[in-house]
Amino acid sequence: MIAEIGLAALWLAAALAVLQMVSGAFALKAAEGEVNPLAIYARPAAVVQAFLAVLAFALLLWAFAITDLSIKLVASNSHSMKPLVYKLTGTWGNHEGSMLLWVGVLAASGGLLAAFERRLPERTMGATLAVQGFVALGFYAFLLLSSNPFERLPVPAMEGTGLNPLLQDIGLAIHPPTLYAGYVGLSVAFSLAMGALLTNQVNPAFARVLRPWVLGAWVLLTFGIAAGSYWAYYELGWGGWWFWDPVENASLMPWLAATALMHSVSVLAARDALRTWTIMLGVLAFSMSMLGTFLVRSGVLTSVHAFAVDPERGAFILVLLLLYIGGAFTIFALRAGAVAEGKRFSFSSREGALVFNNVMLSAILAIVLLGTLYPLVTEAFDVRVSVGPPYFNPASAIFAVPMFLVMAVGPLLRWKEDKPARIQFEMLMLAAVLIAVIAVTAMVGDYPFLPLLGLGLAAALALASFLPLRGRKLARVPLATWGMVLAHFGVAVSLFGMACEGAFSQERLAAVAPGGTEQVGDFSFTLQSVTPVAGPNWTALEARIAVSRDGGEPVILVPQARNFWSPQQSTSESALLTRWDGQLYAVLGNQAADGRWQIRMWWKPFVTFIWYGALLISLGGILAIVGRVRVDVKRRHASEVGEERRADLAALGAAAPVPAE
Amino acid sequence: MKAKHQRLILVVIALVAIIGAGLLAAWSLRNQANYFYLPEQMAATPPEVGQAVRLGGMVQAGSIKTEADGVTVNFMVTGNTADAIPVRYSGILPDLFVENSGVVAEGSLGPNGVFMATNLLAKHDENYVPKELEGMGTQQAAKMAADTTVGLD
């Protein structure tokens, strides 16, 4: 019954999406200040739809939890012997399940928007909900017509075929849901942007409604990308943390667009400038999430993420992609001219710096996008290429370096207009730090150029991120400003980790006989033994390696070479030793003919700072959301109190006082 | 400055930057993209020494030799013709790296004509096959379409 209820819930939700779309569209027909009688269904439809879609996902979770092998999806992706937590995470470790998760999150955020957002005019809200319903409808159609997660098998399977072992990891529990929630949060930003554009309401009030959604989506994307990067780092056993893999790029591109959007929304909210630019970024950010979904889900890429190698599905998503993006840009082109010019500002102002970095982010986005699509394009002409770090690193650095420089001084500038001479002391100080760090490091050793530059920039940025607090009473600094400081500092921390990893990593690859000792960096490691071990659904060879730093107390590391038996696959489980100043990374390889074991060890100084930095960035984003929402709630409460007081006065017949702005 | 002018200037700056990024991308993609070579193509028109490329083919039977350090292997990769390219790789071999099976080596050609591989991709499991090796069986010779040309020009 579970499957049938789930499927019914999905069909009902799809029907409600139609209602939401139509009813929302009627809101556009209403005159200013009036409510169209047919427009009142959009909000309830969105809320009930959210409930149904989440219910469908919960039912699929349940089916995976009890391993209901009469459902095709469960039978082909799960196994009764799997640990319960991986049964649950396996729900979204496949194409259909992950699309259902996507739709569930989409509907849930639409429901939240419909239930709680009361600040926008009804017409704008109607248009927004109509667009949201339209987007949701496409994905319901995709699920129901080409990837039904609840399909039954004619005869229940005896046993499931299991889940790709690489995906049997706690990283999978975190990475996809957060990333999806981020992608989908951008869909709300997109709907709001379209709603505001259609009803000509692109103004600071709209920006304040949009901002928490963009911030939330951006925090989730940041966190999801960081989790994915850490997962790839320890699970793939290659020692790298970012491979410029198309799938990674697919998550990076929406993040770049969302970062630009978040800053431009702030300008719109605070200064009423960058109106059309904000709308365009809203469309762009969601287009990038859609493109990411297309790249990952259509099977045009071969990767651990590409569950569905089915041309029909690829074509379906491509059609959706073209429909949404094409439609959005058409509306944008038709309506953008009607958006009135915002407030002006000079180039040397905080707005100017933000615009500059917006453009830099867009340029990096273009670099990543072209590099990601290029192999797909050439393959159409039967030329097989792959594009990797030799392209992405220098090409993106050309735009990232000026961006970091402007990011250091931007927050020190005043809104609207400022003289650069006013902050010349700060600029000189930051330049001195930048040059000093690069010079000192270059004197100590011979390091590659980009990591060297990264170290200098990280130091300057770390200092610069706290400068906006100078001369202010710390207790009175708004929470949102703290968020900015923390996030900018997090960027510096991440950059520091990346640069250190690039410049100072040490590697040792050796064949070691049991009892043999080798050296990497300050560490000496001794292979004690290699023994077979067994887990719930795998067997493995496990090495015991005693590691000691500068002759200190030895620590045991146990890297494994695992063999899963359902499905048949081997993976390499690296072992990590985390110290405050870096990580030791050990991988066990094959046995050579003479009985020695291949062992690969890396000492990666400060590599963990990459992810600490990402956590700081996310935390900064969360602080900003909390700060903004608190101010909004306060403002709403204050205006309610004011209304009451005025009503009281009016009832007393006294002359109403003029409210102080 | 008039309002209209400022908007225009912003749009122009943004366009210049984006088009600049596009041109930069196009230029460096031509130089940095990692082309795929079959052994016979590499023998006929070798890439420049040190340029990052990929070499795909079959591991020749009896050619895998491990050096005394236990981690460096030398082997020959063959394609549809008699041409064989010597490959040298230091690292942990993929699990399904065996003789007569497909392999894609990432790396560059050394001055002595030996391909110095930095990474080897072998058939990983049923679901994750390097794109170039899709559909290649073990007995089957490297039957990758001969029209997988080398360069764009």
pLDDT average, residue stretch A471-492? 91
Considering only CA atoms, which of A295, A298, A257 is closest in space to residue A278? A257
Whether residue A360 and residue B17 make contact (CB cut-off 8 A), yes or no, is yes
Q: What is the pTM of this model?
A: 0.89
The CA-atom distances, in angstroms, between A285 and each of A218, A254, A325 are 10, 5, 10
pLDDT band at A499 (very low <50, low <70, confident <90, very high): very high
The more confidently predicted of residues A395 and A166 is A395
pLDDT average, residue stretch A287-312? 67
Of chain B residues 64-103, which have a CB less than 8 A from chain A?
66, 69-71, 90-93, 95
- Kindly tell me if the per-residue pLDDT of A165 is higher than 80: no
Contacts of B129 in chain A (CB under 8 A): 302
Considering only CA atoms, which of A16, A40, A10, A217 is closest in space to residue A133? A16
**CB half-sphere exposure, B97, CA atoms < 13 A:** 24
Considering only CA atoms, which of A298, A297, A105 is closest in space to residue A183? A105
Whether residue B26 and residue A370 make contact (CB cut-off 8 A), yes or no, is yes
Q: What is the pLDDT of residue A606?
A: 94
Segment A399-430, tens digit of pLDDT: 999 999 999 999 998 888 888 888 889 899 99
Segment B7-39, tens digit of pLDDT: 778 788 888 888 988 888 888 888 777 788 888
Segment B45-96, tens digit of pLDDT: 888 888 888 888 888 888 888 888 878 889 998 877 778 889 999 888 876 6
- Return the biggest CA–CA distance within chain B: 77
B26 touches A at CB < 8 Å: yes
Residue in chain A closest to B96 (alpha carbons) equals: A570
Whether residue A370 and residue B22 make contact (CB cut-off 8 A), yes or no, is yes
Q: What is the pLDDT of residue B149?
A: 26
A35 touches B at CB < 8 Å: no
The structure tokens 């071990």 sit at A533
Which three-class secondary structure string do you get for A239-286?
A: CCCCCCCHHHHHHHHHHHHHHHHHHHHHHHHHHCCCHHHHHHHHHHHH
pLDDT average, residue stretch B126-153? 36
The structure tokens 């994915």 sit at A228
The CA-atom distances, in angstroms, between A360 and each of A53, A347, A406, A524 are 38, 15, 10, 45
Contacts of A568 in chain B (CB under 8 A): 125-126
The more confidently predicted of residues A24 and A82 is A24
Nearest CB to A391 within list B33, B92, B124: B33
pLDDT average, residue stretch A13-22? 92
Contacts of B151 in chain A (CB under 8 A): 383
Asked whether A267 and A351 are in contact (CB, 8 A), the reply is yes
Q: What is the pLDDT of residue B147?
A: 29
Nearest CB to B91 within list A366, A509, A593: A509
Beta bridge partners of A532: A541
Whether residue A359 and residue B130 make contact (CB cut-off 8 A), yes or no, is no
- Kindly tell me if the per-residue pLDDT of A314 is higher than 80: no
Which ipTM was obtained for this model?
0.77
- Kindly tell me if the per-residue pLDDT of A308 is higher than 60: no
A402 touches B at CB < 8 Å: no
Of chain A residues 360-389, which have a CB less than 8 A from chain B?
360, 362-364, 366-367, 370-371, 374-375, 378, 382-388
**Element (H or E) spanning B56, and its range?**
strand B53-59
Peptide bond into A567 cis (omega under 30): yes
Asked whether A493 and A457 are in contact (CB, 8 A), the reply is no
pLDDT average, residue stretch A269-289? 90
Number of A to B CB contacts under 8 A, please give it.
Answer: 129
Q: How far is A349 from chain B (nearest CA, A)?
A: 14
Segment A575-596, tens digit of pLDDT: 999 998 899 999 888 887 788 8
Segment B98-118, tens digit of pLDDT: 777 778 888 888 888 899 998
Q: How far is A391 from chain B (nearest CA, A)?
A: 5
Contacts of A246 in chain B (CB under 8 A): none
- Kindly tell me if the per-residue pLDDT of A381 is higher than 80: no
Neighbours of A26 (CB within 10 A): 18
Q: In whole numbers, what is the pLDDT of chain A averaged over residues?
A: 87
pLDDT average, residue stretch A185-205? 90
In angstroms, how far is CA A138 from the centroid of its own chain?
A: 22
Q: What is the pLDDT of residue A625?
A: 93
Q: What are phi and psi of A35, to 5 degrees?
A: -115, 125
For A367-408, the DSSP string reads HHHHHHHHHHHHHHTT--EE--HHHHHHHHHHHHHHHHHHHH
Q: What is the pLDDT of residue B136?
A: 42
